[in-house]
Amino acid sequence: MITDLTTGKPGRLIFGFTMPMLASVIFQQLYTLADFIIAGKFVSIDALAAVGVSGMVTFLFMAFATGSNIGISVVISHHFGAKDYAKTKTAVYTALISMTAIAAVFTVIGLIVSSPLLDAMNTDAAIKAPALEYLNIYILGLVFLFLYNVCTGAFSALGDSTTPFIFLAISSVSNIILDILFVIVFNMGVAGVAWATFICQGFASVAALTALLIRLIKKFEPAIKGKLFSFALFKETAKLAVPSILQQSFVSVGNILIMAKVNTFENDFVAAYSSCIKLNTFVINCCMTIGNAVSSYTAQNLGARKTERVKGGFRSGLLIGEAVALLAMIVFMIFPKPVISLFLDTSHPENIQGAIEAGRNFIYIVTPFYILMTLKITSDAVLRGAGAMAEFTAGTFTSLFLRVLLSHVLGTLIGQDGIWWAISIGWVLPCAMSYIFYKTGTWKRKIKKIQN
């Protein structure tokens, strides 16, 4: 269903639009969590560490895909909100073609640099081989990752958050089933986890692409013909996507630099870090999904010249995001050991005590800062939707710089807990920056350019 976000109460629109998107990201994160859980419980703690280490590299590719998603979604939202349906269709086609080509290039580059990247991260010899195996299989499926992000960005821009959820829910459940089948029944180890992701991500991508093309044909009259490719719209998308891609990519590079420090500790801490970062990513992605809904809402309303509605969307998105963050914090705080134990083989408690203790410290140090993290994400969402990418990027780069610097400094001075404090402190100043950018209305400078 395509939804016009320019009419109706902001709270009701944001909530209704967000729920399927939030359910989608929960399913998506559940099957990536399943990769970690099955690797840790049914292979070994080294397998868990291997999946975690390779995950730092896969974040680089995910960063490009999700960064592009943001630019694609905003551009399509602007033209859809302005009721320019020919450009809406052309923007979708342009995104599909360009991202397919980019994915092919990245696949070749990824296969070449995967091993050197693992070496650069000080990856222990005991976990490098399975990490490389997982990483190379993942890279072979990049075209599916990129196409799926184009489709979800387009659906979000058109106000449809239900269709991607349906495909992702099916894919997620299938992924968990294949994880169990490949790892437990066929004893394929880390490779089985990777192939399960490859197959199910491929299904979600092809299904979403098919549905999107059918939707474009049915929604818009046949007389409204969009071009297959527009260099002007490609440049328009790139202007918004490149800052997001750089932002996401630098975050991923930062994670790799932090992982290089983490890998100097024992493998049980590497496993704990991998587990905790997965939990952390789960919460952040839920809040970012709400932020993406706010971005689409902002972009559509600015395209329709309804600037006064943006603040209502911000308040509604912030309220939903803080509720999610608070719920996660409470659950983690009350059940720290069971949450961390999800990823570990508990049949020999003496072998995982170090990982459990490190995970408990993560929960007590990091999760109280989720409230600030959510405020930053929601403020950034308005900036992105308005095309104020300089302001959006400034706060994120500041966060990245602080986290990388503090992880090495505090990790050296106070040990493992220094990594957790680096994550927490790294949110404080950037949160203040993003909120000030939103409150002072610097993003409004982009409105005239968007509306012309």
Q: What is the pLDDT of residue 365?
A: 94
Q: What is the pLDDT of residue 205?
A: 92
Instruction: Examine the pLDDT at 137 and tell me if it is beyond 90.
Output: yes
Cα–Cα distance, 179 to 51 (Å, whole number): 13
Q: What is the pLDDT of residue 257?
A: 82
Counting residues of the chain whose pLDDT is more than 90, the rounded percentage is 27
* 305 vs 410, higher pLDDT: 410
pTM: predicted TM-score of the whole model, two decimal places: 0.67
pLDDT bin (cut points 50, 70, 90) of residue 448 is low
Most confident range, picked from 19-28, 282-291, 313-322: 313-322
Least confident of 298-312, 313-327, 369-383: 298-312
Nearest to 321 by CA among 243, 359, 378: 378
What pLDDT digit, counting tens, does each position of 434-447 carry? 999 888 876 776 55
Is the CB of residue 380 less than 8 Å from the CB of residue 389?
Answer: no
Q: What is the pLDDT of residue 125?
A: 84
What pLDDT digit, counting tens, does each position of 182-227 carry? 998 999 989 998 999 899 889 989 999 999 988 877 766 555 666 7
Q: What is the pLDDT of residue 213?
A: 87
What pLDDT digit, counting tens, does each position of 85-134 carry? 888 888 889 999 999 999 999 999 999 999 998 888 888 888 889 999 99
φ/ψ region of 423 (left if φ > 0, alpha if ψ in -120 to 50, else beta) reads alpha
pLDDT bin (cut points 50, 70, 90) of residue 419 is very high
3-state helix/strand/coil string of the chain: CCCCCCCCCHHHHHHHHHHHHHHHHHHHHHHHHHHHHHHHHHCCHHHHHHHHHHHHHHHHHHHHHHHHHHHHHHHHHHHHHCCCHHHHHHHHHHHHHHHHHHHHHHHHHHHHHHHHHHHHCCCCHHHHHHHHHHHHHHHHCHHHHHHHHHHHHHHHHCCCCHHHHHHHHHHHHHHHHHHHHHHHHCCCCHHHHHHHHHHHHHHHHHHHHHHHHHHHHHHCCCCCCCCCCCHHHHHHHHHHHHHHHHHHHHHHHHHHHHHHHHCCCCHHHHHHHHHHHHHHHHHHHHHHHHHHHHHHHHHHHHHCCCHHHHHHHHHHHHHHHHHHHHHHHHHHHHCHHHHHHCCCCCCCHHHCHHHHHHHHHHHHHHHHHHHHHHHHHHHHHHHHHCCCHHHHHHHHHHHHHHHHHHHHHHHHHHCCHHHHHHHHHCCHHHHHHHHHHHHHCHHHHHHHHHHC
CB within 8 A of 415, min separation 6: which ones?
Answer: 265
Cα–Cα distance, 150 to 67 (Å, whole number): 10
Q: Mean of the per-residue pLDDT values for the chain? A: 84
What pLDDT digit, counting tens, does each position of 246-298 carry? 766 766 777 778 888 888 888 788 888 878 887 888 888 888 888 888 887 88
Cα–Cα distance, 388 to 448 (Å, whole number): 12
Least confident of 122-136, 218-232, 327-341, 357-371: 218-232
213-238: string of b/e by CB count within 10 Å (b at 16+)?
A: eebbeeebeeeeebeeebeebbebbe
pLDDT bin (cut points 50, 70, 90) of residue 147 is very high
Q: What is the pLDDT of residue 327?
A: 94
Q: What is the pLDDT of residue 22?
A: 76
Q: What is the pLDDT of residue 132?
A: 93
Q: What is the pLDDT of residue 199?
A: 94
Cα–Cα distance, 262 to 271 (Å, whole number): 10
Q: What is the pLDDT of residue 376?
A: 93
Least confident of 52-56, 94-98, 287-291, 401-405: 52-56
